[in-house]
Amino acid sequence: MIIAGLSGIGQKLPIPNIQTGNAWSDPSVKSMWSAMHQAVAAFSSSKVASQGFGPDVYEHLSLTVQKELRAFDSGCVTDWERIRYYERI
C-alpha cells in the first residue's frame, strides 16, 4: 500500500472521494480480484510493484508466490471443500 500510495503521489493522481455507505454493494467501487490466480498475475506484471520493491525483491516475491500457487493447485484440499463435499459424497 505504501508503494501504491507513493506511486500515486509521484504521478500526481487525484485523491479519490471518501467512500460512504456500503462499499460491497456500491457498483461504482472497483473491487479486488476474487481469485488468487488473478492477483498473482496482476502482481507479476505490475510495473509499480517492480519499481517499488526493486528488481531483486520483486522477482523473489513474484517467483515465490507463483510457486506457492502451483503447489496449492497440485492437490491442496481446503477446509471448505472437505466440509462441503464430505456431506454430499
- Each residue's pLDDT tens digit in the chain (89 positions)? 899 999 999 999 998 888 888 988 888 888 878 888 999 999 999 999 999 999 999 999 999 999 999 988 888 888 888 888 877 76
Which of helix, strand or coil describes residue 36?
helix
Confidence at residue 89, expressed as pLDDT on a 0 to 100 scale: 67
For residue 67, give the amino acid letter: K
Return the C-alpha cell found at 85: 463435499
Does a structural domain hold residue 62?
A: yes
Confidence at residue 23, expressed as pLDDT on a 0 to 100 scale: 87
Phi-psi region of 29 (alpha: psi -120 to 50; beta: other; left: phi over 0): beta
Confidence at residue 28, expressed as pLDDT on a 0 to 100 scale: 85
Does a structural domain hold residue 51?
A: yes
Confidence at residue 42, expressed as pLDDT on a 0 to 100 scale: 92
Does a structural domain hold residue 3?
A: no
Q: Give, to the nearest 10 degrees, the angle between helix 55-73 and helix 36-44.
A: 160
Q: Which residue has the cell 479519490?
A: 16
Does a structural domain hold residue 40?
A: yes
Q: Please count the structural domains in the chain.
A: 1
Could you list the residue range(s) of the whole structural domain that residue 41 is in?
Answer: 36-89
Does a structural domain hold residue 2?
A: no
